[in-house]
A = this chain, B = another copy of it.
Amino acid sequence: MDLKEILKERGVPIENALEEYLSVRRPKKLYDAMGHIPLAGGKRLRPIMAVLMCEIVGGDPERAIPYATSLETIHNFTLVHDDVMDDDDLRHGVDACHVVYGLPTAINAGDALFAYAFEMITDTEVSSDVKNSLIRHVARTVREIAEGQQMDMDFEDMTHVSSEEYLKMIELKTAILFGAAAYGGALIGGMEEKRANKLRDMAISIGLGFQIWDDYLDATASEELLGKPSGSDIVQGKRTLLVIKALEKTDEENGRRLQEILDKQNNDDKEIVEAVEIMKECGALDECKEIALEHLENAKKTLSDYSDTEARKDLEELLRFMVERKY
């Protein structure tokens, strides 16, 4: 199967569970707001990873559905709150939750989604011991996601951010939720804690590759493929690994010029091209690509310990998509 088919087929039980959990109840406005972003679509990468991992370690993938759905719910709760914090108006091609329902209801809907996610975990048909490990892991993960979000916000007021700081930030903000998908899926599939943690490391690696590839794509993919203007990170002046590496590697003059373009509002296409050229010339673009691909290779190596089932093939396809996608 190609990736599109995998996502479609594996996504069905997740979509069904999401729709059932998020069916509209009273107060109607709250439940409408809760469903707005989660039911607007998305690739469901995290829940699909959890379900596949459960199957790969020999478990019944059905059993991982409530947990997988809880991770998608948590992902969406962070999107709803992040859009408020970052004052972003669009998400997945639809208006952000606070744009449609107002800021107070968006905050409240995020809180309710978050609480709901923990109810979903307790719906998992596993022993109480395993359930407790899942709860503890997810609670800690969400606290650390908040740490990552804080680092990201704090970066905006800092004049210099190191690669290490940036990598720590994306690990917390993005990668560890993939880690929770792999860890929990494996535990539900019957794997013991220690080995589940190795799969968690693998997923964190992929999560890092996923984010770094995203930064790389933003500077290289064309608008047609990406569905958003290429170079949007540059226009927004975002500090990505690519920018950090370029500022480290390039000479003083180009560094000053790159900073100038990043600091300027409303860059035109010529400036974007110029910035990408600086990133390319100093080798930052290639380095970021290599780092992302290295993460993919590491992850594939971990997976190769498991028997060559349909689920493993699907997961490999998913990992490849996460780090090598063209759009």
A91 within 8 A of B: no
Q: Contacts of A150 on B, CB cut-off 8 Å?
A: 27, 29-30, 105, 108
Q: Contacts of A131 on B, CB cut-off 8 Å?
A: 128, 132, 135
Q: Contacts of A135 on B, CB cut-off 8 Å?
A: 118, 121-122, 131-132, 135
List 6 interface pairs A-B (beta carbons < 8 Å), by A numbering: A29-B154, A86-B104, A111-B114, A112-B147, A119-B140, A122-B136
A153 within 8 A of B: yes
Instruction: Decide: B128 and A143 in contact? CB cutoff 8 A.
Output: no
A63 → chain B, closest Cβ, in Å? Answer: 16
A110 → chain B, closest Cβ, in Å? Answer: 8
1/0 per position for A111-140, CB-CB distance to B under 8 A?
A: 110111111011000011101100110111
Q: Contacts of A30 on B, CB cut-off 8 Å?
A: 146-147, 150
Q: Beyond A119-B139, A135-B135, A140-B119, is A149–B108 a contact (Cβ under 8 Å)?
A: yes
A292 within 8 A of B: no
- State which size class the interface on A falls in: 35 or more
A187 → chain B, closest Cβ, in Å? Answer: 13
Complex copy number for this chain = 2
A26 → chain B, closest Cβ, in Å? Answer: 8
A303 within 8 A of B: no
Q: Contacts of A26 on B, CB cut-off 8 Å?
A: 147
Q: Contacts of A110 on B, CB cut-off 8 Å?
A: 111
Q: Beyond A111-B114, A128-B127, A128-B128, is A104–B85 a contact (Cβ under 8 Å)?
A: yes
Q: Contacts of A129 on B, CB cut-off 8 Å?
A: 128
Known: A84-B103, A121-B135. 20 other contacts (CB 8 A): A27-B147, A30-B150, A81-B107, A85-B108, A86-B104, A108-B153, A109-B146, A111-B111, A111-B142, A112-B147, A114-B142, A115-B140, A117-B139, A118-B135, A118-B138, A119-B139, A122-B135, A128-B131, A131-B132, A132-B132
A79 within 8 A of B: no
